[in-house]
Structure 1
Amino acid sequence: MASVRTCVVRSDQWRLMTFETTENDKVKKINEHIRSQTKVSVQDQILLLDSKILKPHRKLSSYGIDKETTIHLTLKVVKPSDEELPLFLVESKNEGQRHLLRVRRSSSVAQVKEMIESVTSVIPKKQVVNCNGKKLEDGKIMADYNIKSGSLLFLTTHCTGG
């Protein structure tokens, strides 16, 4: 059985964060804890152990830190470029008609749904939008979905009635 370790994450922008981990945990688990407390998406985080960048897919033990009881990490936040990215909206109706949308990584899902309404006339309340296999949720931003230039958004609508 893996023993529990304390992981301390320091950052210039946030208060000290402390998590319990095991040597079998992946770095991504720490990234997810940080995201839950700071709302910084995983892809915009860099975790440093001394000067070494920790990769999300690797286990903590792969960095030779399995014998320590406390792991001290530093969080750096990457500010991604916020240029407009061309995305394509694919409608489930209208024979898969495509619409070009220009969206920023910082755009909220609500803003994107308003753009979708302007080209499809489907009100945001009835929209179900998916990107990269995930349903877009109100209260999040597009950076949370790892959008890239040319990403596809898939639009379906809620059905009312029975």
Structure 2
Amino acid sequence: MASTASCLRVNVHYEKWEPMTFTANMEDRVKKISEHVRSKTKVPVQDQVLQLGSKTLKPHRKLSSYGIDKKTTIHLTLKVVKPSDEELPLVLVESGDEGQRHLLHVRRHSSVAQVKEMIESKTGVTPEKQIVTCNGKRLEDGNTMANYSIRRGTLLFLTYHCIGG
């Protein structure tokens, strides 16, 4: 059983909600605080950034690693990262015998047309000749990566329009 001497109070502040207070152990990881916040606010852990002053806390680190005094209350600030701002590193696989792979850095709000321009800069294939698919669906101009629920690390596949077959 942990002694009360190793416990501390954690206050988490966010502009849209009342402050949240939790009791934590000095050996708890920051991720545990994020899980408490998620249970109260429904904000997914991956969309949270917890800060102590100007320091951003890393989920895998223990509270004690930040030099927090166990006799005081720590005040953390919660920032919510909007999913539309998220960068999505994706792998593009070209059709053909070699199946060349290219890393693309897109954002959730990137349009398919913008992604096709990135593909052109990597492969030299013009957007008009590209057929880009993901999870069995053809990506259509006018949509964004978010429209297809594309996540970090997703594979995109590139094939080409054939003229005169």
TM normalised by structure 1 equals 0.54
Q: Any gaps of 5 or more consecutive residues in structure 2? A: 86-107, 113-131, 140-144, 157-165
- 1:36-63 CA-to-partner distances (Å, cap 9, x unmatched) read 1112111211111111111100000000
2:113 pairs with 1:76: no
Partner residue of 1:100?
Answer: 137
Larger radius of gyration: 2
Structure-2 separation of matches of 1:4 and 1:51 = 23
The equivalent position to 2:38 in structure 1, one of 26, 35, 45, is 35
Structure-1 separation of matches of 2:66 and 2:54 = 12
Q: Which runs of 4+ in 1 moved over 6 A?
A: 84-87
Q: Any gaps of 5 or more consecutive residues in structure 1? A: 90-98, 113-141, 153-162
Report the RMSD for the aligned CA atoms in angstroms: 2.9
* Residue identity in the other structure for 2:154: G
Partner residue of 1:54?
Answer: 57
2:83 pairs with 1:44: no
* Equivalences for residues 6-155 of structure 1 within 5 A: 6-80=9-83, 81=85, 82-83=108-109, 88-89=134-135, 99-100=136-137, 104=146, 147-150=151-154
How many residues align structurally?
105
CA apart distance, 1:83? 2.1
Structure-1 separation of matches of 2:58 and 2:74 = 15
CA contact under 8 A between 1:87 and 1:150: conserved in structure 2?
A: no
The share of aligned pairs that are identical, in percent, is: 50
CA contact under 8 A between 1:8 and 1:73: conserved in structure 2?
A: yes
